[in-house]
Structure 1
Amino acid sequence: MASLIQSIRDVYLASKKKEDIAWNIYVARPIAAILVALLRPTPLTPNQVTFLGVAIFFVAAAAFIALPGAWGFLVGALLVQLSYLFDCADGQLARLKSMTSEVGSHLDFLMDELKAMTLAGALGVRLWMLDAQPYWLIVATAGVFLVGAATSLTNFVRRPEYAGQEIKPGDSARKRAMPASLIGKVVWLAEAVARYFVHYPSWIMWVALAAFVLPFDAAIVFLVLYLGVYMVYLARTTLAILLKLAHPGFYRS
Structure 2
Amino acid sequence: MLSEIKTVYLNSRKARDIAWNIWVARPLAAVLVTILRRTPLTPNQVTILGMFVFFGIIPVGLLLEGTLGFLALALVVQLAYLFDCADGQLARLKKMTSDAGAYFDFFIDEIKALLLVAVIAVRLWMQSSDTNWLFVGLLGTIMVSVATSLTAFVRRPEYSGVEVKPGASAAQPAAPKGLIPKVLWIVQRVASYIVHYPSWIIWVALVGFIPGLDAGILFLALFLGVYALYIARTGLGVLLKLGSPSFYRSKD
Which TM-score band (shorter chain)? over 0.9
1:167 counterpart SS class: coil
Aligned partners of 1:49 and 1:166: how far apart in 2?
Answer: 26
> What are the superposed Cα offsets for residues 135-157 of structure 1, whole Å, 9 maximum, x if unpaired?
11000101100111000000000
Give the aligned partner of residue 87 of structure 1. Answer: 84
Higher mean Cα deviation, 179-188 or 210-219? 210-219
The alpha carbon displacement at 1:92 in A equals 1.1
Give the aligned partner of residue 136 of structure 2. Answer: 139
Higher mean Cα deviation, 57-66 or 191-200? 57-66
What is the TM-score with the length of structure 2 in the denominator?
A: 0.96
The alpha carbon displacement at 1:41 in A equals 0.3
Give the aligned partner of residue 223 of structure 1. Answer: 220
Higher mean Cα deviation, 198-207 or 172-181? 172-181
Gaps of 5+ in 2: none
Give the aligned partner of residue 61 of structure 1. Answer: 58
Gaps of 5+ in 1: none
Aligned length: 250
Give the aligned partner of residue 240 of structure 2. Answer: 243
Higher mean Cα deviation, 227-236 or 94-103? 94-103
Higher mean Cα deviation, 47-56 or 59-68? 59-68
Aligned partners of 1:75 and 1:203: how far apart in 2?
Answer: 14
Q: 1:18 to 1:45 in 2, by over 3 A?
A: closer
Aligned partners of 1:135 and 1:212: how far apart in 2?
Answer: 24
Aligned partners of 2:212 and 2:192: how far apart in 1?
Answer: 27
Give the aligned partner of residue 212 of structure 1. Answer: 209
The alpha carbon displacement at 1:181 in A equals 1.7
Please say if residues 62 and 122 of structure 1, whose CA atoms lie closer than 8 Å, have aligned partners that are also in contact.
Answer: no
**In the TM superposition, what are the counterparts of 1:123-202 in structure 2 within 5 Å?**
123-202=120-199
In the alignment, is residue 17 of structure 1 matched against residue 14 of structure 2?
yes
Over the aligned positions, Cα root-mean-square deviation in angstroms equals 1.0
Which structure 1 residue ranges, 4+ long, deviate > 4 Å from structure 2? Answer: none
The alpha carbon displacement at 1:244 in A equals 0.8
Aligned partners of 1:248 and 1:62: how far apart in 2?
Answer: 52
Aligned partners of 1:181 and 1:225: how far apart in 2?
Answer: 27
In the alignment, is residue 48 of structure 1 matched against residue 52 of structure 2?
no
1:216 counterpart SS class: coil
Higher mean Cα deviation, 167-176 or 240-249? 167-176
The alpha carbon displacement at 1:215 in A equals 2.2
State the one-letter code of the partner of 1:178.
A
Percent identity over the alignment?
58
State the one-letter code of the partner of 1:249.
S
Please say if residues 12 and 90 of structure 2, whose CA atoms lie closer than 8 Å, have aligned partners that are also in contact.
Answer: no
Q: 1:122 aligns with which of 119, 135, 138?
A: 119
What is the TM-score with the length of structure 1 in the denominator?
A: 0.96
